[in-house]
Structure formats: structure tokens, C-alpha cells
């Protein structure tokens, strides 16, 4: 080609595959982090989906754990059931978001529970 001109490629270019923003991928388990606010002890525990574990004075069941597809901003979310093993305690069932830990509705005077990762 004279003068360094470039020729256009006549083949159509496929657009990249992009996941919908509300996409989540189910995983087989997750890692939760339990903070004892009294003595500042942090316990990390791996839980399989469907499994119940006891961490200190909490009974935690992992109902589901999900991550975002690789082409979206990374995050993890866990659906949990938590029961504090004290007479005055209430139970909690809901979602924990890794990137938005303050959005959880689980409130306990002794413990905080956060999702570290799913997978």
C-alpha cells in the first residue's frame, strides 16, 4: 500500500459479552469473619452452603453464597441465618454484602459478622 494507508477489515466485529449488572454466580461455600466486639477477637471460618457452624456464641447457617462475574466489579454476598446462643438474643436471616458491610441488618451487642469471600 502506498503512503502507509490502512485498509479497513470488512469482517464485522462482535461486541464483547457483558454480564447484566444484577448477575451473581452461586458458589459452594464462603468465608465469614466474626468479630467479638468485647475482646476484639476475629474468627474467620469457612462454611459450606447448607452447613451450620458454631462460632463462639453464634450458630451460623450459610444458606447461599454468591460472587459477581469476572467482567463486573467484584463483590460477594452471603445469605445467612444467625442465632446468638444467649437467652436474650434474637435471630437473624438475611444478606451480608462484602463491599457494603454496614448494610447488614444483623445487630448484636457482642458480635459483628461479615462475609470475606465466596467460593
Q: Where are the beta strands (DSSP E) in 1-119?
A: 25-26, 29-36, 41-48, 52-55, 58-67, 76-84, 91-97, 111-118
Does residue 28 contact residue 78 with C-beta atoms inside 8 Å? no
User: How does pLDDT run across 68-119, given as a tens digit for each residue?
Assistant: 999 889 999 999 999 999 888 879 999 999 999 888 888 899 999 999 999 9
Q: What is the pLDDT of residue 77?
A: 96
Q: How confident is the model at residue 1 (pLDDT cuts 50, 70, 90)?
A: low
Using one digit for the tens of pLDDT, what is the confidence trace for 15-41? 777 788 789 999 999 999 999 999 999
Phi, psi of 7, rounded to the nearest 5 degrees: -95, 140
Q: Which pLDDT belongs to residue 2?
A: 56
Where do the domains of the chain lie? 23-118
Answer for the pair 111, 56: CB distance below 8 angstroms, yes or no: yes
How far, in Å, are 31, 39, 60, 67, 94 from residue 85 at the CA level? 21, 18, 10, 29, 18
Amino acid at each position: 500500500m502506498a503512503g502507509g494507508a490502512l485498509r479497513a477489515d470488512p469482517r464485522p466485529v462482535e461486541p464483547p459479552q457483558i454480564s447484566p449488572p444484577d448477575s451473581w454466580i452461586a458458589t459452594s461455600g464462603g468465608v465469614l469473619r466474626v468479630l467479638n466486639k468485647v475482646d476484639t477477637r476475629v474468627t474467620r471460618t469457612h462454611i459450606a452452603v447448607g452447613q451450620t457452624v458454631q462460632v463462639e456464641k453464634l450458630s451460623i447457617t450459610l444458606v447461599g453464597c454468591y460472587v459477581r462475574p469476572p467482567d463486573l466489579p467484584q463483590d460477594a454476598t452471603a445469605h445467612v441465618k444467625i442465632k446468638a446462643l444467649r437467652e436474650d438474643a434474637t435471630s437473624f436471616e438475611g444478606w451480608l454484602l462484602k463491599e457494603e458491610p454496614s448494610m447488614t441488618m444483623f445487630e448484636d451487642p457482642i458480635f459483628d459478622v461479615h462475609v470475606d469471600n465466596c467460593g
